Structure 1
């Protein structure tokens, strides 16, 4: 597995995924969680067919070592790891995709190094960085109360705040996992089963350091200056992040479009890869359409 040296001398790992058609233009892909092994991204529904996916392991996940300092896990610091990776790869500019919590890392990177981005794709983001927590995810969850898994997931979700240790957290997250998917079939079950073993408690705990500091407002104030096209993807069955959070994130940019995918939860490439992949590929080729903020 290749490595690169980050800003503080730490050697961090990354993967390179290429499809059967060979190397395509690079797309750097950031995993969320926070603090989850990037293996859960897989090939993002086959995006590697026409793109070379560069997937870094953030500090303390995958093959990357822990951070020597606690602040190294915070999302603004992870953005500087990304800049070190760009330098290592020799990319003057590049396209970036981020999922879940990593969308905060991507926004921090865009605020500091926006001139390096050609395209930015934010997949099912939350809006904690924007300082708002919409309640439509809960509404989506409640709307699915007739599904077989719902009662146990409900109990697990409401037990999580009082969980005693990480083992209990992992168990509860697995019980609550169906709410993150558009349906609870074989591919979704298999994908969800990997989560407990992929979560790093220390990176997870350190990720949101500083999100409530005044510096957050300075970061947000720079996002309207980002000039590259931005695509925010949401799912209408995402009971983890909902859809309104993505709209809030998109509103932070002047060049953002929103795509809401039907029948899709928090992991669109698992639920509907043949829907997710073309949306991303078309955006990477054509960019931003200011009139296209609807659903597909």
Structure 2
């Protein structure tokens, strides 16, 4: 499927996005923060939808914010809104994976959307959230746990990408050799990880989001597992929860036959 690249400027900083497919518009935001946009490229959806992939600020060929502390959810929302305004197509379906789901939720609290696909994400982070992640990661083995806990503010892009690629098998229920190309292609940029957001918690505001929402989660997701998906589902007035069995944090790679069927059924 042919993909085109576009740019919009906000505060003099370039925000890139990529478009492929035809049909109703669905805007996808990758996770991290700082993970490459093509980690959520979803070619099967492009056969039915106009997929718009945001290349988040601070990553790839998008611009860099003046200070690392400026990589906050509010700023991600601002730059996402600049993309949606540039599309000039009215409200859209918004798909957010992991940290991209945080952005999608915050966006839906500030701007109109037609629908939300909240994919392996959470309405809250903080001490309990990260303690839960570390506890789950421990079961993946000493090497993965050491890499997960080794992350620090001075890491370069290449060093942090190395950490991500080391821990990535733990994000799958069952790592297989066929996933190696995905691991080799996935990058992360270090500056967004140094953002100075306070604790993220929108649980008491979920009732304000009344548009249809699909909450997707792998039953063996070690980062944003069913516990957090259930909180989303309980708080969103018009949500559908789908727990994907024998699946980790990256369902569109590990269980594509289930993931794409659920998303297309919902957005239809």
TM range (shorter): 0.7 to 0.9
Alignment match of 1:225 (pick from 208, 233, 254) = 208
- Count of residues in correspondence between the two structures: 263
- Superimposed CA distance per residue, residues 41-61 of structure 1 (whole angstroms, 9 cap, x where no aligned partner): 122x61111011001111121
For structure 2, the 5+ residue unaligned runs are none
| Conserved 8 A contact 1:137-1:238 | no
| Conserved 8 A contact 1:134-1:245 | no
| Conserved 8 A contact 2:32-2:188 | yes
Partner-residue secondary structure (3-state), 1:46: helix
Counterpart-to-counterpart distance in 2, 1:164 and 1:90: 39
Indicate yes or no: 2:192 matched with 1:203: yes
Shift of 1:172: 3.2
For structure 1, the 5+ residue unaligned runs are 286-296
1:156-195 pair list within 5 angstroms: 156-158=147-149, 160=150, 165-166=155-156, 167-195=158-186
- Superimposed CA distance per residue, residues 206-244 of structure 1 (whole angstroms, 9 cap, x where no aligned partner): 1xx3333xxx66x55443111201111110121232221
Counterpart-to-counterpart distance in 2, 1:175 and 1:9: 36
Counterpart-to-counterpart distance in 1, 2:16 and 2:154: 32
**If you compute each CA radius of gyration, which structure gives the higher value, 1 or 2?**
1
Shift of 1:247: 1.6
State the Cα RMSD in Å: 2.6
Shift of 1:5: 2.7
1:1-296 pair list within 5 angstroms: 1-6=5-10, 8-18=11-21, 23-43=22-42, 46-70=44-68, 72-113=70-111, 116-129=112-125, 132-133=128-129, 141=137, 150-158=141-149, 160=150, 165-166=155-156, 167-195=158-186, 198-206=187-195, 209-212=196-199, 220-285=203-268
| Conserved 8 A contact 2:161-2:189 | no
| Conserved 8 A contact 1:30-1:97 | yes
- TM superposition outliers: structure 1 runs of 4+ over 6 Å: none
